[in-house]
């Protein structure tokens, strides 16, 4: 009989509480790591979106200039750019510093040479901190400063040569 009483099996309350505390610590660490990973992923995604907008913006301007449109006036520095072409073609890039947007209104010839029926208006980006167009004797220097999600900036600088030299 004595042998049966000393052979009790099971966990004490202290052991159960110890396991619960360790489990809670491990789960809270995992939740913190998952939250940190999610925040980092969102920040990287946002940065990549802004960088893609900057590449698209510069590419649009460069391609428009390469179609034969030239800056008006030929020399000067501004936050806005007017490109003038033949047969009524034009492109007007407007920077709004209060909304951080860069939009373009353009009317270009189609592939068959006919002029588009009406102008097209497109917002190229809403993350532009600043843009500067520096036209100088057939050379157009574009300085684009983008606002990144972590409140830092990225400056993109490119030069395109016009047909007017």
User: 3-class SS at 117?
Assistant: coil
Taking 60 as the threshold, does the pLDDT of residue 3 lie above it?
no
Copy the structure tokens of residue 96. 């709004």
Q: What pLDDT does residue 112 have? A: 84
Reference 37, options 25, 48, 47, 45; nearest CA is 45
pTM exceeding 0.85: no
Q: What is the pLDDT of residues 48-91, one digit of tens each?
A: 999 999 999 999 999 999 988 999 888 889 999 999 988 889 99
pLDDT tier, 137 (very low <50, low <70, confident <90, very high otherwise): confident
Copy the structure tokens of residue 140. 């157009």
Taking 60 as the threshold, does the pLDDT of residue 144 lie above it?
yes
User: 3-class SS at 161?
Assistant: strand
If 0-12 CB within 10 Å is exposed, 13-18 middle and 19+ buried, where does residue 8 land?
exposed
Task: Provide the residue ranges of all domains of the chain, joining segments of one domain with +.
Answer: 50-161
Q: In angstroms, rounded to a whole number, what is the distance separating the alpha carbons of residues 21 and 155? A: 50
CB atoms within 10 A of CB 97: 11
């Amino acid at each position: 009989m004595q042998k049966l009483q000393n052979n009790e099996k099971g966990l004490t309350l202290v052991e159960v509480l110890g396991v619960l505390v360790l489990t809670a610590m491990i789960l809270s660490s995992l939740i913190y790591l998952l939250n940190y990973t999610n925040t980092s992923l969102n920040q990287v995604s946002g940065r990549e979106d802004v960088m893609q907008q900057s590449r698209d913006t510069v590419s649009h301007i460069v391609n428009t200039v390469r179609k034969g449109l030239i800056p008006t006036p030929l020399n000067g520095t501004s936050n806005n750019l007017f490109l003038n072409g033949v047969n009524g073609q034009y492109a007007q890039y407007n920077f709004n510093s209060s909304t951080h947007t860069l939009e373009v209104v353009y009317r270009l010839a189609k592939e068959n040479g006919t002029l588009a029926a009406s102008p097209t208006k497109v917002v190229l980006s809403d993350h532009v901190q600043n843009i500067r167009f520096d036209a100088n004797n057939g050379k157009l220097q574009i300085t684009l400063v983008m606002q990144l999600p972590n409140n830092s900036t990225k400056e993109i600088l490119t030069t395109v040569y016009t047909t007017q030299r």
